[in-house]
Amino acid sequence: MANTHDTGYKLLFSTPELVRDLILGFVPDEWLHGLDYSTLERVPGSYVTEDFSNRADDIVWRVKVGGEWVYLYLLIEFQSSVDKYMALRMMVYGGLLYQDLIKRGEVLADGRLPPVLPIVLYNGSQRWSAVTDVFELIPPVPGLVEQFKPRLKYLLIDENAWSDSELASLKNLVAAVFRIEHPASPAAIGDLLSLLDEWLAERPDLRRMFALWIRATLMRKAEYRIVLPRIDDLQELNVMLAERLEEWAHAYKAEGKAEGKAEGKAEGKAEGKAEGEALALQKLLKKRFGAVPPDVLAQISGASLEQIDAWLDQVLDAGSLDSIFGTSTR
């Protein structure tokens, strides 16, 4: 998986709420749905192989099931591209997890191993096409050898398998993640932010985490080409996006229609981006501090793109216009 996706998803699924909603919303199994997910515990996911080369599994959790097993382990891997040999990778990762559990003495009383559910969460643009059982990677073999071909399946959760309307029907944090990754429209992102703002009203830690992840996700999307200052609150992010998303989408769409020399195109792109950022800054200033004085408007109008970006980074934390622009503003 690409580093930006990998890091973002590791951030999200480092919280038990996301792991719980992944299982309850996207794994169709009554027994799993009946488990007590308040007992979820994060398990160290970095192992050392026998040749001492490091291998870090993405996310490993365990949940109490009681009885003989005590724990069920959840091994979650993230992918943004199709990997033909994913089944083999999951077999290796599962083996490393079991090896680590044996070393730590976390096996059953009689020495048997606890169950592990291997999950691949895929968020790429194409439908997943790789086999989900390592057995299928090996061609048929005559006679006795066929019986000894390895078997290990993983559970595939492909974000593309659900429509936006199906996801919208779920009050589920992971469903919201899927919809933000593949939004039906720019306006839908604002609606999702409002939903998350409501759902997470009592969880400032999750609000901050989602704000950081959504900002990074939108900045990564080529169709928006959007630049946002660092924001760690959902409400502030929603205000910023409301000002910028549609404006910038139109600005960059118009850019593709421009004709002329390469230099002219590059200059037009920079000018269009500066105008879009200047307008976004003015509207955000107005929302925070009221009417923007003429001298501040004049400063913004004559500023470079770099200066406007710097002001945008300051505006959410600033206590006054003076602290941003360094002059007395009336």
The pair of structure tokens assigned to 206 is 């999750």
Q: Is the pLDDT of residue 152 over 80?
A: yes
Backbone region of residue 73 per phi and psi (left: phi > 0; alpha: psi in -120 to 50; beta: other values)? beta
Three-state DSSP class for residue 69? coil
CB 106 within 8 A of CB 114: yes
Cα separations in angstroms, 64 against 17, 73, 163, 216, 316: 16, 9, 32, 34, 43
pLDDT digits (tens, 9 = 90+) for 259-304: 434 444 444 555 666 676 777 787 777 766 777 887 888 888 888 8
Cα angle 241, 228, 251; round to 5: 65
Q: What is the pTM of this model?
A: 0.71
Q: Residue 145: what are its φ and ψ, rounded to 5°?
A: -60, -30
Task: For residue 251, name the pLDDT band (cuts at 50, 70, 90).
Answer: low
Q: Is 164 exposed, middle or buried (0-12, 13-18, 19+ CB in 10 A)?
A: middle
| Count of Cβ atoms closer than 10 Å to residue 79 Cβ | 23
Task: For residue 238, name the pLDDT band (cuts at 50, 70, 90).
Answer: confident
* Termini Cα distance of the chain: 51
**Where in the chain are the domains?**
3-161, 258-330
pLDDT digits (tens, 9 = 90+) for 32-58: 999 999 999 998 766 555 554 555 556
Integer Cα distance of 93 and 88 in angstroms: 9
Cα angle 48, 7, 210; round to 5: 135
Integer Cα distance of 215 and 228 in angstroms: 7
Length of the chain: 330
Cα angle 287, 290, 294; round to 5: 115
Q: 47: which DSSP letter?
A: E
Three-state DSSP class for residue 122? strand
**Sign of torsion, CA 33 36 37 40?**
negative
For range 216-233, the mean pLDDT: 72
Integer Cα distance of 60 and 38 in angstroms: 16
pLDDT digits (tens, 9 = 90+) for 107-139: 998 999 999 999 999 988 888 999 999 999 999
Chain position carrying tokens 């936006």: 164
